[in-house]
Each structure stands twice: as structure tokens, then as C-alpha cells.
A = this chain, B = another copy of it.
Amino acid sequence: MSAPLPASFADAQRAIGLALEQALAAPAATDPVLAAMRYTLLAPSKRVRAVLVHLAADVCGDRSRAMPAAVSVECIHASSLILDDLPSMDNAPLRRGRPSAHIAHGEAVAILAAFGLLNLGYGHLAAAYPAPLAARVTTLYADAVGLDGLIAGQAEDVLATDAVIDFDTLERIHRRKTGVLFSAAAQAGAVSAGASDAAIASLTSYAKNLGLAFQIVDDLLDVVGTVAETGKAVRADARKTTFVSFSGVDGARELATELCATAERALEPFGRRADPLRELARYVTGRRS
């Protein structure tokens, strides 16, 4: 289903997968909400946001405290995926190549699992970090989820279905739905490494552009991808205005490439140390799932 990230990211992905498994260790494996949380959080995934936390920490010189922020951002992201797919939202039957959480576990349990994953995201930060770092990352993530982030973007996306929206609105929706959490992930990684404000600002610019490119490629894959490649229903966005409906396939691809070039330019202060982040950007524009 999910195509792997480049091999250079495999170690980080493996470590992240283990940490997520530990965060949702199952003493009471029969609990239906826990089962639905595990179903979504531990599904095959590229874990781009968690990898981004690690790479941002690394480029700032210390990845030793990256993992709790990486686990937390994946919990938050997984919870948003459950919500996105609900009947009252996108009503999507497939996610990551499998039935969506509400199909597999029932709608009530899926909603509670989404709630549980968001809750775990914050609880994990408080449990795993020294208090000052927990508070700082909590604030980054709470802002990214809140009324200028995920929640606002999702609301605008749902309410905009069937409506004609302009390019600025579309860009705002996707900045909030994807870009803001990408930025928060990069910031959290940098903060966990004790980065300077200048380094944080560079990484924020990188991640914001990367996130928007990532979303445009999502739109492209909905049009040109296959279910087998993407692991979700394609042509699901036909009712929606997307970057592809604005710019066409070639125009959207060009826009994604431009955004990734902008992202890469923001990395210049880091020199060659930022090569893994450059590799991630090139992967995002070229990805097929």
C-alpha cells in the first residue's frame, strides 16, 4: 500500500513504529476503543510527520529527544484521519488500503478512538518529556490542531463541498489541514534539540511549503493514482475543488515542484547537513502513494 520512504529513512521509521506500538501497548487487548486506536495508529504508513520531527531535530544537532514529539504528532494525525473519513465528513470507505476506522469498528467506537488518540498525543508528551519541553511542544501542537489549524481546515473543507471556492480559500484549507501540522512537527523536532530561533524559522518555512506540496500531490494521486497504489478510494474528490481542478494535472505537478524548491531553499543555512530534508522534499513530489 504505502510506498516506502527512501531507504535512508528506514531506521527512523522502524524506531518510530516501535515507539508507537509501545505507546499503545495492549494490556487489555479486548478493549474496543484501544483496538480501533491501534488499527489506525499502527496501520502501514510512511509516518512522514514523525520522520520530519526526527530530521528537524537531527539537522539542529540532537535527535535524542525527538521521539515523544514524533509519537505525539502521529497520534494527532491518526485521530484527524479517523475524523476525515467519517460519514458526516468525507464518508470515505478506505484508508491506507483497508476499511476506514468507522467501517471496521463502528462509528461510535471510531469517534471515541479519534478522541483517545488526540488525548494520548498530549498525555504522552506530559509523561515522556521534562515539563518545560512538554509544555512547549503541547503549545505548538495545540495551536496546529486548533482554530487556525487542522480543525478549522477540516471544517472549511467539509462545508465547502459542492461550493465554488477560490484558489486562496483552497490554499488556506490545505495550509490548515496539512501545512500547519507539518510546520509544528518540524518546530517540535527543532525545539527538542534546543535549536535557535533562526533555525526554527528556517525549518518552519521548509515544512510549511513541504506540507502544501504534499497535499497537492494527494490531489494529483486522487486523479491519476490507483486504489492499489494509494490505499484509498480514488476519484473521491470529484465533488470537490482541488488543486488539480484549478491547475490541471500538469499545473498541479508544477506547483508541487515549485513549493518543494522553495522548501529546499529555506534549508540553505544548514548546508549539506540538511540533505536528508532535501531528500524528503524530493520524495514528496515524486511519490506515488
Cβ A114 vs Cβ B112 within 8 A: no
B155 touches A32 (CB 8 A): yes
Q: A109-B155, A126-B135, A155-B109 are in contact. Are A147 and B34 (CB under 8 A)?
A: yes
- Residue in contact with A114 in the complex, picked from B115, B120, B142, CB distance below 8 Å: B115
Quickly give the copy total for this chain: 2
User: Of residues 175 to 195 in A, which have CB atoms within 8 Å of B's CB atoms?
Assistant: none
Contact among B79, B88, B114, B129 for A108, CB-based, below 8 A: B88
A134 near B138 with CB under 8 A, answer yes
- Which chain B residues lie closer than 8 Å to A79 at the CB level? 115
Residue count of chain A within 8 Å CB distance of chain B: 46
- Check A112 against B83 for contact (C-beta < 8 Å): yes
Q: How far is the CA of A152 from the CA of B88 in the complex (A)?
A: 23
Closest-CB distance, A10 to chain B (whole angstroms): 31
CB pair B123–A142 under 8 Å, yes or no, is yes
Sample of 16 A–B contacts (CB below 8 Å): A31-B147, A31-B152, A33-B147, A34-B147, A86-B111, A111-B111, A115-B115, A115-B151, A116-B147, A122-B142, A123-B142, A123-B145, A125-B138, A126-B134, A131-B132, A138-B138
A119 at the binding interface (Cβ < 8 Å): yes
Nearest chain B CB to A138's CB is how many angstroms away? 4
> Taking the complex as formed, is A248 at the interface, i.e. its CB lies under 8 A from any CB of chain B?
no
At the interface, yes or no: A73 with Cβ under 8 Å from chain B?
A: no
Decide: B116 and A88 in contact? CB cutoff 8 A: no
| CB-nearest residue of chain B to A26 | B147
A251 at the interface (CB under 8 A from B): no
In the complex, the answer to whether A119 meets B118 with C-beta atoms within 8 Å is yes
A116 to B152, CA, bound (A): 9
Q: Are the C-beta atoms of B147 and A126 separated by less than 8 Å?
A: no
- Chain B residues within an 8 Å CB radius of A32: 155, 159
A64 located at the interface, meaning its Cβ lies under 8 Å from any Cβ of chain B in the complex: no
In the complex, A7 has a CB within 8 A of chain B: no
| A132 shortest CB reach to chain B, Å | 4
Most buried by B among A123, A134, A151: A151
**Which of chain B's residues have a CB closer than 8 A to the CB of A33?**
147, 151-152, 155
A165, CB-defined interface residue at 8 Å? no
Q: For the complex, give the distance between the alpha carbons of A122 and B126 in Å.
A: 10
Interface bits A71-97 vs B (CB < 8 Å: 1, else 0): 000000001000100101100000000
Say whether A146 faces chain B, with CB atoms less than 8 Å apart: yes
Task: Indicate the member of A109, A115, A159 with the most B CB atoms within 10 Å.
Answer: A115
Across-interface contacts of A114 in B (CB, < 8 A): 115
Question: Residue A62 at the B interface, CB < 8 A?
Answer: no
Residues of the B chain whose Cβ atoms lie less than 8 Å from the Cβ of A154: 112
Q: Smallest distance from the beta carbon of A153 to chain B beta carbons, Å?
A: 10
